[in-house]
Structure 1
Amino acid sequence: MENQSYAVATQTIAFATFMVAILRLLPTLQRALKLAKLPSSGSNPSGENQRAYFLKYTRKLYRDGYRKLKNSAFRMVASDEIDYVVVSPRFLRELKSLPDDVLSVNKGVEKLLESHYTSQRIDLPVMIKTIKTDLTPALGRLNDGISEEIDISLERFLPSSEDCTSVVVYKMVAEIVAQVSGRVFVGPELCRNPEYIEHSINFTRELMDAANAIKRMSPWMRPFRAGRLPELQRLRSRRERVSEFLRPIIQERNQAGSKPDDMMQWVMGRDTSADFDTLVSGHLLLTFGAIHTTTAMVTNAMFTLAVAKEYISPLREEIRSVLASNDGRLTPRALQQMVKLDSFMKEVNRWYPHTVVTFRRYVQKPITLSNGQYIPAGVIIEAPSDAINFDPDIHTDPHTFDGSRFYKRGQSADPGKISRSQFVATNEEDVSFGLGRHACPGRFFAANEIKIILARLILDYDVAMPEGLTERYSNIEFEKNMVPDATKMLIFKRVQGEKL
């Protein structure tokens, strides 16, 4: 009798456990059934290791999928712990206006950075508010200081010899960008501190190293093994050291009567209740968004100029002409007048973006698109920005690099459409900086910084490939990320008689 009761109890527990498992899996099964109705792209034709196949051929897979299914939404077979739905530009107008409780940009970025494991905070609205309300309107006031800091950093990090000098470009540009961005973020004294510059450069690299290490791991193993990854341990150590570095600075600002005119102080003034962890996390988020994207853009431009020398003379002439008409100062007005440089920057960014996709959003509530396609909750939607950049219906002869492409388009456009050809433009056919109210808020600061750095480098230096190489360095691709090779060198030689 006792054995029979035990058997019944065991069966009851087993059945209950089975039912709980079914109930927990039910939403996943329902989502999978609904997703199965969408066309898919990216499957490994050999049927082997789909995750490794996706990581290796990501850019090609998105381009192929977009070319075949550009007028619909489709599933990208990534074999990740979450499903990805790629949306055509035709749907972006209707999607960009949906509220955050339907499409969450924060949760989309959290997946990009694997925040569940890296502990990188994203939901910091005070940072976005401060960039939009304090930083962007202040660019006119800050521009002279930015220009001054670029001069100081170039003298510090780029050899001043008039002889040919080999320079590791990415490293040099990263140091300049860290110092110059730091001038705006934490002020002129701290931004030149070698420890501050080292933290600014290496935090983002170590964050992405950790996120990529997690992405390489099987989704089933991440909860058990991710915490022991050496990349994640290095990131934790970095965050602790940054906290200790910033602690006395934040404490001093809380006690001091004077208020510096920089981003950290604007954040502290805008949110007086922000605790230490929020201020540090906000600063790290700001660093992540600013340093390496700007560094990559400048490096890509210099790599391109080293093999496309036909652009140097017209760009130099434009820079000289604009300086002459603006009393030798690179004011915001002067930067706006550099339309050929702006076009060159935009074409470089079209060819060498930092990511394959933008407009990442986590779907929190189901969506029915205007063509009737249904997208369930619990997936990430994304726009295939790299594939859009090479769409022949959008760009004439897209596989030819044309640094004057957007200059010519702007010259021939209706006055109301000229802005669509600018580097900072966002629209349904150009989502490099995102789209809608969540488009990159720091792009105006970044554009100014990039233009001033490039104007100085183009005017003051000749640049060439080393050892007689004639082809541009290839960028490094991993999953959805694309970056210039940080180990490659160019030959710099100061132009006699030129000085910005």
Structure 2
Amino acid sequence: MLVHEDTVPAVLYATLTSWPVATLAAILLAVQWYRLRNSGVSRFFTLTLVWHRYFDQLRAIPTVGYSAPILSYITAFRFNADGHKLLQQGYETYKPGLFKIATWDHWYVTATGPQLVEDVSKAPEDVLSMRNGMYYFFQTGYTMGPKVMHNPYHIPLIRSQLTRRVAVVVDDIHQEVVAAFNSAIKFEKGLEWTPLFSQSNTTMEEIFCRINNRVFIGAPKYLDEDYQKLNIEFALDVVLRAGKIRRFPKFLHPIVGPFLTRLPTQLRRQTKHLEPIIEARRRLLKDHGDNWDKPNDMLTWLMDAAEGEELSTTNIARRILVLNFASLHTSSKTFTYALYDLAAHPQYLQPLREEIEAVVASDGWTKAAMSKMYKVDSFLRESQRVHGVNVGNMRRIVLKPFTFSNGITVPPGTVVACSTRGMHHDGANFDHPDVFDAFRFADLPKEEFAKHQMVSTSTEHLAFGHGLHSCPGRFFVATELKIMLAHIVITYDVKFNEGQEYPPDRFAGEQVSPGVAAIMFRRRRMTD
């Protein structure tokens, strides 16, 4: 279940006030009324009382757009294309505080201001549930499989083994970055500049897929074209198909979900790719115990940690799919923004080059070197701040009544999130918040910079979330991003195509994607 049984009144209210098809809501109401009328008058009035209490609690939260049962459909429809505008309007009008927006099937309550963000970040999982929020938004039960939510044993592996492994795979990641860009950027004889991303962001996803899976499963499978294509398709499919499933009433999800997902087919393909590797490792483990050169990668960690039915080859293959989804979808968009910023602000190229070359000459491509690339780190963090891939972040489902520090209580069944873009563009949090200042954080005193590294979270900087459920893979992702940016800066000159300006963002609800643009690459001229 997405929420506890005691949230039924909340879900029913959300159904009646945010449904795109009013007739379906009327049918639901009629059926429920008939069931209640025949189960006893007292039960009917009890549920009605609970229902009105829920309504009264939400009434205390101001609304952006319409809140009336029929007119709210207009706001729900508008949220698809203009969610960023509605969220920004709410932020500017009600900060610090709460506001709500009607979407197709729930009220979207947004917290603004450092204290309310802190409230969300510190709330326990059994009160404000991140896991249920992810389950709902990505429709995990249909797009990934219900066990992924109910037994997310891969998350502790990311926090522990993968984070510790970063220190010893920096050189491996660098080698793969070099190889990936050499393959992606095809210079033609007689042409000084060559384009990348002229059609879509697929190239960046391919690069990340190569790098991630060198660490996830090792050679040579990570270079397999069909394997890469499958994992990239899956990452996109989860978002697109989950959105389609959410268009339907919750009671129809079990019917439409299996038809709208391609998980069974994708899982068979993934298992076909990984089964020979998994079975070979199992044979070696059976024959030699721990006395063999066991690969120190994510696949091994999953095999060691899995229990019960999760030990099956198919379920281990499923976890690798899920890990690729988690790392590909946001990382590729984040780096695309950084690349656009590099092309739009060429004045930062030379100081970045000077820092990178000095650090690499001293420490090579190591974790120590990454920690000394202050300007690179600041450039990426600032790009995250200005753009970001979510207007709203830290999405939670309320499982038990939750009272914010301002005294307002939100009832079970409500979706709560924080206004990421609003916080990132608030003059109270950042000087000149709408200006891209690449070295904003690098120019801070060293002791202050430690609090503003790319992997650091705060109530003002929510790119990786904040608090109990900060992104567990951010240390790995930040290392990848820094190596990629460093390689490009010291290897190429970059610019937008002739006549091309910074492309406008594309919005869908609270999600943000970079617009399509052609970035031109040229082998760096060493006269600078």
Compute the TM-score of the two structures, normalised by the length of structure 1. 0.88
Aligned equivalent of 2:507, options 455, 460, 477: 477
Whole-angstrom CA distance in 1 between matches of 2:417 and 2:498: 41
Q: 1:244 to 1:375 in 2, by over 3 A?
A: same
Q: Does 1:63 align with 2:100?
A: no
Instruction: After TM superposition, give the deviation of residue 44 of structure 1 in Å.
Output: 8.5
Which amino acid in the other structure matches residue 494 of structure 1? R
1:282-361 equivalence runs, <5 A? 282-326=319-363, 329-361=364-396
2:196 pairs, out of 131, 145, 167, with 167
Q: Which residue of 2 aligns with 1:122?
A: 149
How far 1:140 moved relative to its partner?
Answer: 1.1
Match of 1:81 in 2: 105
SS at match of 1:306: helix
Bigger shift: 217-226 or 451-460? 217-226
Superposed CA RMSD in Å reads: 2.6
**Which residue of 101, 112, 131 maps to 2:158?**
131
Report what 2:519 is aligned to. 490
Give the whole-Å Cα distance in 2 for the aligned partners of 1:182 and 1:115: 22
Question: Aligned equivalents of 1:209 and 1:406: distance in 2?
Answer: 35
Any idea what the Cα deviations from partners look like across 1:39-68, whole Å, max 9, x if unmatched? 222338987622211112111111111111
Hey, what's the Cα distance between the residues in 1 that align with 2:74 and 2:321?
35
Q: 1:342-371, CA deviations, whole angstroms, 9 ceiling, x for partnerless residues?
A: 111111111211111111121111112222
Q: Which amino acid aligns with 2:510?
A: K
Q: Check conservation: 1:158, 1:172, Cα contact below 8 A.
A: no
Give the letter aligned to residue 521 of structure 2.
F
Greater CA drift, 304-313 or 380-389:
304-313
The partner residue of 1:155 within 167, 182, 187 is: 182
Alpha-carbon shift at residue 496 of structure 1 (Å): 4.0
User: Aligned pair 1:111/2:136, yes or no?
Assistant: yes
Give how far 1:447 is off: 0.5
Q: CA deviation at 1:14?
A: 8.5
| Comparing 399-408 and 175-184, the one that deviates more | 399-408
CA deviations on 1:296-315 (whole Å, 9 max, x unpaired) are 11111111222221111211
Number of matched pairs: 475
| Larger deviation, residues 24-33 vs 374-383 | 24-33
Q: Who is 1:431 aligned against? A: 462
Any idea what SS the aligned residue of 2:395 has?
strand
Aligned amino acid, residue 82 of structure 1: H
Query: Where does the alignment leave 5 or more consecutive residues of structure 1 unmatched?
Result: 1-11
Residues 462, 495 of structure 1: 8 Å contact kept: yes
Tell me: CA distance 1:54–1:187, structure 2 relative to 1, closer, same or farther (3 Å).
Answer: same
- Aligned residues of 1:43 and 1:50 also touching (Cα < 8 A): yes
State the 1:262 CA deviation: 0.5
1:34-73 correspondence runs (5 A)? 34-43=57-66, 49-73=74-98
Q: In the alignment, does 2:408 pair up with 1:373? A: yes
- Contact persistence 1:42–1:54 (CA under 8 A): no
Residue 23 of structure 1: CA displacement? 6.4
- Report the TM-score, using the length of structure 2 for normalisation: 0.83
Match of 2:311 among 269, 275, 279: 275
Q: Which stretch of the first structure deviates more once superposed, 338-347 or 254-263?
A: 254-263
After superposition, the C-alpha distances for 1:303-329 in whole angstroms (9 at most, x for unaligned) are 122222111121112111212222xx2
Contact kept? 2:72, 2:102, Cα under 8 Å: no
SS in structure 1 at match of 2:153: helix
Task: Report what 1:15 is aligned to.
Answer: 37
1:152 to partner: Cα distance: 2.0
- In the alignment, which residue of structure 2 is the partner of 1:140? 167
Once the two structures are TM-superposed, the CA of residue 432 in structure 1 deviates from its matched residue by 1.3
Residue among 200, 205, 210 paired with 2:236: 205
Counterparts of 1:314 and 1:208, CA distance in 2: 38
Q: Gapped runs of 5+ residues in structure 2? A: 1-33, 286-291
Report percent identity of matched pairs: 28
